[in-house]
Structure 1
Amino acid sequence: MTTIYLVRHGQASFGKSNYDELSKNGEAQAQLLGQYFKNIFTEQPYIISGSMKRHQQTTQISLKECFPQASYEVDGLWNEFNHQQVFSLYEPRFAKPELLKQDVFKEVDPRAYLAQIFDEAIARWTNEAFHHEYDESWPTFKTRVEAALKNLCIELTNNPAQEAVVFTSGGVISVIIGKLLELSVQRTFALSWSIANTSVTTLKLVNGEPLLLSVNEHQFIKSKNPALLTWL
């Protein structure tokens, strides 16, 4: 049986014009992740990464700590949905990320305020009436993520490995958990707020089918440096 480790990327650059780049915190988180993997893996796992910069930065930094000579596959099916477009079509001024950040951090409870905006923006994105307005609609994103998981399961069934690691994003991981637990859209995206940066969600592949083992493991960060824990 193969264990699949789904890794959310390290903290990206929220509120900057280019979100798709790790912050200094994100780089430090990726280092701790690599050290954790060095302790738990006895041999190199099968490794795959989304094609976004934050995915590959997390992959490269963590691998430097545990398997510095390792190669990995790149597959854009594991990429996150375009959250900046989802925000901007909900509120046009949020097309400028710095304005979203400005609004969020002037609130007494920034996380709660951002969660409210996120919920409302996601509700619009997943509403059938608006699907045509997005470059990638909710049904298209969901189908893409499910295809990524199916392809991985086929690959691991045909070419067995003890472990596989996928570097991806919180939205992707939430959709996979939602599919396996048959969650509603609302409950699926509620998971996004609990998935910490560089946290690990594990699946067990049994007879070619994925089963959920654990969600959002991040004790390896909390035990080393709790100040590095982030969810944005």
Structure 2
Amino acid sequence: MSSLEGKRAFVSGSTQGIGRAIAERLAADGAQVWVNGREEGKVGAVAAELGVSGIAADVSTPEGVAAVVAELPEIDVLVNNLGIFAATPLLEIEDDAWQRFWDVNVMSAVRLSRAYAPGMRDRGWGRLLFLASDSAVVTPTEMVHYGVTKTALLAVSRGFAQTFAGTGVTANTVMAGPTHTEGVEDFVRSLVGDELPWDEAQRKFIAEHRPTSLIGRLIEPAEIASLVAYLASEESSATTGGALRVDGGYVNHILP
């Protein structure tokens, strides 16, 4: 287990799913953690359950990011986890949906990283982490706008890594594969139906819709959190500018 004793970590969009698992793991590894979401009640409840702190703010907006930075001026680890997805035929994706996905999935990460990276550089240590997806390199026909935002995060992460080269600040993208979250469970059911028990339903979904998976099941959020914990730690000091996959072998080629 990596040690994050004395490190301060902020995880955007972390009241459920992968973000919550990441917050829980970083706290278990010794970090002082802040969870985040838009609803104050939910943020407070999750923070209490995990024994961490919380900040309620919509970080898809400049005002929300400013509110977070005002309350939490310095951090050591930033996990840009916030993201949304929805299955929509390409020709039916309206301009406002494109903009919404861009603001939530990309600009939240850009603004938070831009706010916190200079302080990390000045202190000589920091970790910028971006949660992308297999959809960054395998564009999903059913949600192209989502895939586009995840591809963009690869470039954003690499750009921050290059800009802060040699400063002790690293930036990496974690490319998560099909993961068992509340939203994905609904998505799976929409494709394979409600009749099957969950274990059978997820395996049917993988077999029919993600057949290149080498583990034959959805990934659990804690499995994503394990890679994030490593990248947030001292042990990852030589890993930067990368796109690291925890996708169950779904992406059917060697490089990202």
Q: TM-score under structure 2 normalisation?
A: 0.36
Structure with higher helix content = 1
Higher relative contact order (CA 8 A, sep 6+): 1
